[in-house]
Amino acid sequence: MTAEGPAGRSLVSKLVRFAIVGFANTGIDLAAFSLFLWLGMAPLMANVLAWAVAVVFSFAANSFWSFERDRTLGLISSFLRFVSLGALISLGVSNLSLIALTSTLGVWPAKIIGVVAAAILNFVAARWSIESRIGR
């Protein structure tokens, strides 16, 4: 078993690229979340809207730069897989973190904990939804 991808990009390269996109995506998510909170939205609604903004960027960057997209899926199918698994993981984990931790830690620490936990789960989900592979 090799760590090379279908076009020769190594798993390490994919991980590094995924991390770079993730940092940028986290910035977009936090900026949008902050804006929506500033506009007076409840934290859960702000989180859902910030997620929607960030997921579009994340899919575009990951499918065109981090991974080698499986062209047999088609762009829309790949996006739907990305949203239905990977992105919903991040939204679910982030919302659970806000619900469970906001009252004890505050909104921002709860949001950050949710972002970190979701990032770990999203690498596998993104690889499956974009490349149609998990362990190879």
Compute how many other C-beta atoms are within 10 angstroms of the C-beta atom of residue 12: 9
Name the pLDDT band for 133 (thresholds 50, 70, 90): low
pTM for the structure as a whole:
0.73
The predicted pLDDT at position 131 comes to 72
- Going from N- to C-terminal start, the domains of the chain cover 11-131
> Is pLDDT at 1 greater than 50 in this prediction?
no
pLDDT: which is higher, 85 or 136: 85
pLDDT in tens, 33-60: 999 999 999 999 999 999 899 989 999 9
The predicted pLDDT at position 2 comes to 38
Is the Cα dihedral 57, 61, 66, 67 positive or negative? positive
- Which residues are CB-neighbours of 42 under 8 A, at least 6 positions away? none
Burial class (CB in 10 A: 0-12, 13-18, 19+), 101: middle
Compute how many other C-beta atoms are within 10 angstroms of the C-beta atom of residue 35: 14
